Amino acid sequence: MKKFFGLIMLSALLTGCTSITNLAPSRLPRDSAGYYRVEAAWSSQKQAIIPGSFKPLVVVDGYDTYPMTPVRTVKDRWEAFIPVPADKDIVLYHFKFDWTERTIHGPRPNSLQSPEYELRVK
């Protein structure tokens, strides 16, 4: 019974709680350059994430991907500039964070996607 409980605790420790929070406004004024900043906060209790394996993306309209870069002044925040053509007022996007983590059986890829968000440009 102790071994079983120990395996459950180890699994809970490796799993941890992970979330993505959208920090971008849902409405922005039209920009002449056509690029709009979106930002997300990443939170994870996982200790098994392999440093350097983290790859956050913004997925626009279901298929176009844009890499995110860390926000210099704040830890665990990521940003990207996404294009919105002049003839569009609404764009749908979501965040996708990919990483590799250590497991008992060796490195394993993992990922998390946010819900879809709507950006309105006026």
Question: pLDDT per residue over 73-96, tens digit each?
Answer: 988 899 999 999 999 999 999 999
pLDDT at 98: 95
pTM (2 d.p.): 0.82
Pairing state between β 35-44 and 77-83? antiparallel
CA distance 35 to 121: 10
pLDDT tops 80 at residue 11: no
Q: Are 82 and 35 in contact (CB under 8 A)?
A: yes
Question: Structural domains in the chain?
Answer: 2-121 (2.60.40.10)
Mean pLDDT of the 54-82 span: 94
Radius of gyration of the chain (CA): 18
The tokens of 90 are what?
Answer: 């609404």
For the cut 60, the answer to whether the pLDDT of residue 8 exceeds it is no
Q: How confident is the model at residue 16 (pLDDT cuts 50, 70, 90)?
A: low
| Separation of first and last alpha carbons in the chain | 61
